[in-house]
Amino acid sequence: MVVELTLEQARRIAVRAQALEAKRPAGVLDAIDRLTFVKVDPVSAVAPSADVVLWSRLGEAYDPADVTAGLEVDRTLFELDLMVRPMDDLRLFRPMMRRWPKHERTRNWIEANDAFRRDILVRLNGSGPLPATEIPDTAAVPWSSTGWTNDRNVTIMLECLMMRGDLAMSARRDGQRLWDLAERVYPEVPELEASDAYVQRNERRLASLGILRERKAGGSPAEPIDTRGIGEPAHVEGLRGTWRVDPGALEHVDEPLAERTALLSPLDRLVFDRKRLEELFGYEYVLEMYKPRDQRRWGYWAMPILHGDRLIGKVDATADRAAGMLRVDAIHEDEPFTRDLVEAVFEELDSLAGWLGLEVGGRAVGLA
């Protein structure tokens, strides 16, 4: 049976799945468990994107040190391929690690550098955890690339061994990853068949987004989601084609949303899939940090504004730490703001600034 959903119901499902209701998650682990991951990204116009994602869910109670403790002390979190995940999900990735890599070129390069691979394992066994800068490059065959990875043999081999499950990121120091043997970082986890792990990964990913189109590789390239045959099939009012909905989300589909206003990272999962974003929310967004300044409509790292189940505008803000200011240069209204909306947006800006230890300022503050 195909579920019939209104656009409003579909939006509510998406917002709830991303933990953006008024009732906030219990803490960092609860938030990441519901999101399934937060992506590590070096851009820090306001703060690192992963921190903004978690602040959007947890508010000023969020402390980045809690992520560090989860990764390095409690081991309730792990980082794989620049994504921080709950350790309970490691069992879903172990079968994939055993089959990695799927590309022949990478497989051949690892085989050609088997002595190099063993050198790294021996060194880390005796001296780990270590950063890449303290591991000698003994590659017999260099890694060839037209990009920044060309001849970055140590980094490429470390990442290959991470993806194979031989190594793990143990900690970060001064922005560098420290590498160690996986057996010293990861706990023992139940063995799953690859097919079972594949289905469960996709079910977890669908639950984290609530609703997705039915297709083989939705989501993002780094986190593809095969929605075929999982969840419940659905039609969304005014949209063609079949969608898939997390069954748990349907239990609350008619309940009003506990609304709040939230400022989102441009890399937030709610907005990252731009086609889904436009279909469900009627919202246009482009990350403009790579555009020349005079070609930007909204700003370098404009933050989408969520109010209830609607995306209503963008905030062009940057953290000017030298001046002690969260500089708000523009607030773009996708729909006319009421006085209450203006106040709600500035309450969030005040909260963000307070969390950053800054004061709100800039050209747009007069809108308040």
192-210 tens-digit pLDDT:
999 999 999 999 999 999 9
Cβ atoms of 128 and 184 closer than 8 Å: yes
Contact yes or no for 230/202 (Cβ under 8 A): yes
Instruction: With beta carbons less than 8 A apart as the criterion, state whether 261 and 345 touch.
Output: yes
Average the pLDDT over each of 52-66, 200-214, 334-348, 352-366 and give the range with the smallest value. 352-366
Residue in 78, 56, 166, 46 with CA at minimum distance from that of residue 118? 166
| C-alpha angle 79-82-83 in degrees, rounded to nearest 5 | 60
311: part of which helix (H) or strand (E)? strand 310-320
Which has more pLDDT, 225 or 3?
A: 3
Q: What's the confidence (pLDDT) of residue 368?
A: 46
Range from 15-19, 216-220, 259-263, 265-269 carrying the lowest mean pLDDT: 216-220
Quick one: tokens of 55?
A: 């602040």
Q: Is 131 a residue whose pLDDT tops 70? A: yes
Percentage of the chain lying above the pLDDT 70 cut: 98
Half-sphere exposure of 203 (CA within 13 A, CB side): 14
* Top-confidence residue, 158 or 367: 158
Share of the chain above pLDDT 90, in %: 92
Cis, peptide link before residue 129, omega less than 30° from 0: yes
pLDDT at 233 over 60: yes
CA–CA separation, 250 and 256 (whole Å)? 13
Q: How far apart are the C-alpha atoms of 351 and 358, rounded to whole Å?
A: 10
Q: CA angle 106-190-180, nearest 5°?
A: 50
Residue 136, pLDDT > 70, answer yes
Tokens of residue 77, six digits? 């979190």
* C-alpha closest to that of 273 among 3, 17, 2: 17
Residue 219 has pLDDT above 70, yes or no: no
H/E stretch holding 39 reads strand 38-39
Give dist(CA 31, CA 58) in Å, integer: 8
Model pLDDT, residue 366: 59
Question: Is the preceding peptide bond at 101 cis, omega within 30 degrees of 0?
Answer: yes
Distance CA 105, CA 92 (A): 25
Q: For residue 253, how many C-alpha atoms fall within 13 Å in the half-sphere facing its CB?
A: 19
Q: How many CB atoms lie within 10 A of CB 222?
A: 11
**What span, in angstroms and rounded, lies between the C-alpha atoms of 310 and 343?**
17
d(CA 337, CA 142): 57
pLDDT digits (tens, 9 = 90+) for 182-193: 999 999 999 999
The predicted structure's pLDDT at residue 221: 67
Lowest mean pLDDT among 91-95, 143-147, 208-212: 143-147
pTM greater than the 0.85 cutoff: yes
Asked whether residue 33 carries a pLDDT value surpassing 80, the answer given is: yes
